[in-house]
Structure 1
Amino acid sequence: MKGAFIDLEPLKVLTYRRLWIGQVLSGFGGQLTFVAVMFQVWDQTASPAWTGAVGLAQALPLIVLGLFAGTLVDRLERRKIYLITTIGQLLTATVMASQLAIGRFPVGVLLALVAVQSAFGATAGPVARTVLPQLLSRDQLAAGIALNRIGFQGAMLLGPALGGVIVGTWGVGVCYLVDAVSFLAALYGVLGLPRMKIEGVAKPGLRGVWDGLTFVVATPVIRGALITDLAATVLSMPISLFPVINAERFGNNPRTLGLFLTAIAVGGVAASLFSGSFTRLPRHGLVMLCGSAGWGIALLLFAFSPAAWLALVCLAFAGAADTVAVVSRSTIVQLHTPPELLGRVSAAEQIVGQAGPDLGNLRGGVVAQLTSPVASLASGALLCIAAVAAVAASTPGLRRPAVTQDA
């Protein structure tokens, strides 16, 4: 039973522990901002399509800049890049917090700031992933990824619920202010990193991007892992539907909106706490496939849940399945990518892992606008399950133990 609990060994590494704490605190602030942005856009437009547009504002910079950012990470000293991107995110959050003094921004201005924040994140994400193998041993990587995940899920667990309370009591501006302050903790963590050696010399511009994409496409286990994640996010992400479901069933209470996100986090934290039960397994690909299928099944049940408590239970199961899938996917990428390509492959993983949900939220909002929230949820969940089954059938390397998989 002891082996099932999360492995805390990576926290003994001082630089990793300091970085991890900073990421957890800034992640908490980010969750407050997410709730505030979603509520502000819904409050000013009353349109699920506009709440879906929040996802588009987050996704476009990641898609347009992500792979070029990965090339930059593979060419330059990574600590310096990490510092620049963290400071940029801090400044953007500060501008959003200025609404406390000057009043609410128009929706277009707010979405533009969300896009700027995402542009800095397009580089911050890949560099954060490339730092991990230089701080931890190969045997500690899966545990470190699981710790990063529980940090994210812990922030998601507390952040949305508290964000709903803050929005309902003091308004959205306070959420943005807390987010800005939280980036100071992230900056503290990055300042503790050593200078990072450059593993190789990536080609500049499109040539470097092409090398990264060629590796991803030519490596079956990585290609299959990223396609599986796209199936679970672009096809079935439900978060843009939460405001309209909240308005239809729960009186548009911002506290209830926070509970939807909190339920996903509860399941994610539970899965992370017992992550030793799957991070120590050799078949990371098979674990990822099962987690992704479980996500789709849980969302299908959520779409038809007749009671609020049952809907929250389904979302908790979805959060647990998502954590299993994400940790396993990241482990596959780390174990099968050469160091000199890790920035670009990590950028591709980030585009899938972050822009995928954003595009999925856009899809969910648009389909709900044209049909209904239930139709949007159910159709997406069924498509997700079918796509995961197709990847499992066509990529046998994902079903084998890691030691036998081809790089």
Structure 2
Amino acid sequence: MSATEQSREEEREKSGEPRRRFFADLTPLRTSADYRRLWFGNTVSWVGQGMTSLAISLQVYDLTRSPFAVGLVGVFSLVPLIVFGLYGGAVADTVDRRRLGLASASGSAVLSAALAASAFAGFERVWFLYAVVALQSVCTALNAPARSSMIPRLLPAEQLRAAQALNSMTMTLGTLAGPALGGVLVGFGGYQTAYSIDAVAFFAALYAMWRLPAMLPERAEGRGRASVLDGLRFLATRPNLRMTFFSDFCAMILAHPRALFPAVAALWYDGDARVTGLLVAAPALGALLGGVISGWQSRIRHHGQAILISVGCWGTAIAAFGLTRNLWLGLLLLALAGYSDTVSMIFRGTMLQVAAPDEMRGRLQGVFIVVVAGGPRLGDFLAGSVADLTSPAVAITGGGLACVVAVTLLGLYARDFRRYDAADPTP
């Protein structure tokens, strides 16, 4: 870079003008050692949790030979996450978030160690695996709001969108790489190997939390204990923040075809479990790409408008997927849907962190967890019900079109949300 170009770059940074980027903006990792450690530790632990999730499902099937018993693993994971998600957010707005993060991550590490010890000892009880899954979800429900609400204290506001993109890559890597690695480790080293590596991986998250400064919530003097109801009342009076959840409901409830992938693989593509695996992987790969190619988003100021457009793109891609019978075109459309979902998630997460006051961030992140965990499950139920009454094609295409119509109506109704300006965030 010439001296003139370097001078222009420095002037652009000082003036706040966003650099023209194509790939993910790594500025948060370069400028904040605390965030860098937190991101790395979170990435390692997410991959480890993905390994353990698959290993537990495989072990339950080995012990029971029952697909229903394997399905109960998801129930024991989801219910505590939804029940304790709101409570974890309220706790995060009351105590030192660093200590809460340390305690909950320590709990997860101990549970992974217990799984490893039981595998080494040959203690094979399905009820024990269910109990560990449920307790791990409780730890996650306490840890996630604390960790997310700490990030705005570690980074300036202009770097939070980039941090959201990096965090989306972490979640997608855990979803993709974790189960794949878990399957390999179980195949070559048994369940004890997968569980042991997950327990060790938690030390990265624990070290990152330990190095952070105290993170007491900023709240008015004399304020009592944080209340879940206060958080919901606050959200009810903040239309822009509320719209971030409504827009996500349009995508995840109306147009979420994941439950139909096994039927689609068999009926449309005359395929087996391998084709189902491709259908499941395609949106995840698109989501990962959404985080990797996210540099252009730094030039977007109207985040509400970007959310509405990206949710509309999700619905359009899903509707088109329901019309095609070409496997590769279908995979491309699902990848496009996954990319659009990540774009929406990045802007929604950024709005929650920037526009919400610090004393409410934990509770809003708790609501976010409940929406993210519960929305797709409701979508699976709706898609399955409509497909049973009609056909998978009607359920998928109709759901995609319903998503587009619903998000369009939301956009027409919520004019302030469309005009939301990141330079002047209004909750």
TM-score by length of 2: 0.82
The separation in 2 between residues aligned to 1:94 and 1:360, in whole angstroms, is 34
| Other-structure match for 1:309 | 328
2:224 aligns with one of 198, 203, 212: 203
The separation in 2 between residues aligned to 1:377 and 1:176, in whole angstroms, is 37
Is 1:252–2:273 an aligned residue pair? yes
The separation in 2 between residues aligned to 1:273 and 1:303, in whole angstroms, is 27
The change in CA–CA distance for 1:294 and 1:114 in structure 2 (over 3 A counts) is farther
Is 1:184–2:238 an aligned residue pair? no
Residue identity in the other structure for 1:179: D
Is 1:287–2:309 an aligned residue pair? no
Deviation at 1:180, TM superposition (A): 3.1
The separation in 2 between residues aligned to 1:304 and 1:219, in whole angstroms, is 38
SS of the residue corresponding to residue 63 of structure 1 reads helix
Alignment of 1:62-73 (within 5 A): 62-73=81-92
Higher relative contact order (CA 8 A, sep 6+): 1
Deviation at 1:327, TM superposition (A): 0.3
Residue identity in the other structure for 1:14: A
The separation in 2 between residues aligned to 1:386 and 1:42, in whole angstroms, is 41
8 Å contact from structure 1 (residues 92, 113) kept in 2: yes
Is 1:102–2:122 an aligned residue pair? yes
The separation in 2 between residues aligned to 1:160 and 1:258, in whole angstroms, is 12
Deviation at 1:15, TM superposition (A): 0.8
Alignment of 1:74-89 (within 5 A): 74-89=93-108
Is 1:125–2:144 an aligned residue pair? yes
Deviation at 1:164, TM superposition (A): 4.8
Is 1:406–2:400 an aligned residue pair? no
8 Å contact from structure 1 (residues 162, 258) kept in 2: no
Is 1:320–2:339 an aligned residue pair? yes
8 Å contact from structure 1 (residues 4, 277) kept in 2: yes
The separation in 1 between residues aligned to 2:316 and 2:60, in whole angstroms, is 30
| Other-structure match for 1:233 | 252
8 Å contact from structure 1 (residues 156, 262) kept in 2: no
Residue identity in the other structure for 2:272: G
| Other-structure match for 2:38 | 19
SS of the residue corresponding to residue 255 of structure 2 reads coil
Deviation at 1:333, TM superposition (A): 0.9
Answer with 24-33 or 319-328: which moved more. 24-33
| Other-structure match for 1:3 | 21
TM-score by length of 1: 0.85
| Other-structure match for 1:275 | 294
Residue identity in the other structure for 1:138: A
The change in CA–CA distance for 1:401 and 1:311 in structure 2 (over 3 A counts) is same
SS of the residue corresponding to residue 75 of structure 1 reads coil
SS of the residue corresponding to residue 4 of structure 1 reads coil
8 Å contact from structure 1 (residues 52, 362) kept in 2: no
Deviation at 1:110, TM superposition (A): 4.1
8 Å contact from structure 1 (residues 26, 186) kept in 2: yes
SS of the residue corresponding to residue 241 of structure 2 reads helix
| Other-structure match for 1:151 | 170
The separation in 2 between residues aligned to 1:366 and 1:116, in whole angstroms, is 31
Answer with 331-340 or 50-59: which moved more. 50-59
The separation in 1 between residues aligned to 2:303 and 2:20, in whole angstroms, is 20
The change in CA–CA distance for 1:166 and 1:262 in structure 2 (over 3 A counts) is farther
**Percentage identity across aligned positions?**
36
SS of the residue corresponding to residue 254 of structure 2 reads coil
Deviation at 1:404, TM superposition (A): 5.5
Is 1:220–2:204 an aligned residue pair? no
Residue identity in the other structure for 2:273: N
Residue identity in the other structure for 1:235: L
The separation in 2 between residues aligned to 1:236 and 1:38, in whole angstroms, is 27
8 Å contact from structure 1 (residues 55, 362) kept in 2: no
SS of the residue corresponding to residue 132 of structure 1 reads helix
The separation in 1 between residues aligned to 2:44 and 2:273, in whole angstroms, is 28
Deviation at 1:24, TM superposition (A): 0.8
The separation in 1 between residues aligned to 2:342 and 2:170, in whole angstroms, is 11
Deviation at 1:381, TM superposition (A): 3.2
Deviation at 1:373, TM superposition (A): 5.1
SS of the residue corresponding to residue 325 of structure 2 reads coil
- Identify unmatched segments of 5+ residues in structure 2: 1-18
Summarize deviations over 1:273-319 as a string: whole Å, max 9, x none: 22121233101111111222222222333344424433322221121
Deviation at 1:368, TM superposition (A): 5.8
The change in CA–CA distance for 1:175 and 1:131 in structure 2 (over 3 A counts) is same
Is 1:349–2:364 an aligned residue pair? no
The separation in 2 between residues aligned to 1:17 and 1:225, in whole angstroms, is 27
Summarize deviations over 1:112-163 as a string: whole Å, max 9, x none: 4333221111111111111101110111111111111122223334334444
8 Å contact from structure 1 (residues 161, 259) kept in 2: no
Answer with 309-318 or 7-16: which moved more. 309-318
8 Å contact from structure 1 (residues 368, 376) kept in 2: yes
Residue identity in the other structure for 2:25: D
8 Å contact from structure 2 (residues 82, 369) kept in 1: no
Summarize deviations over 1:210-240 as a string: whole Å, max 9, x none: 2111111111111111111122223333444
| Other-structure match for 1:194 | 213
Answer with 298-307 or 276-285: which moved more. 298-307
The separation in 2 between residues aligned to 1:170 and 1:373, in whole angstroms, is 40
The change in CA–CA distance for 1:22 and 1:373 in structure 2 (over 3 A counts) is farther
Q: Number of aligned pairs?
A: 400
SS of the residue corresponding to residue 316 of structure 2 reads helix
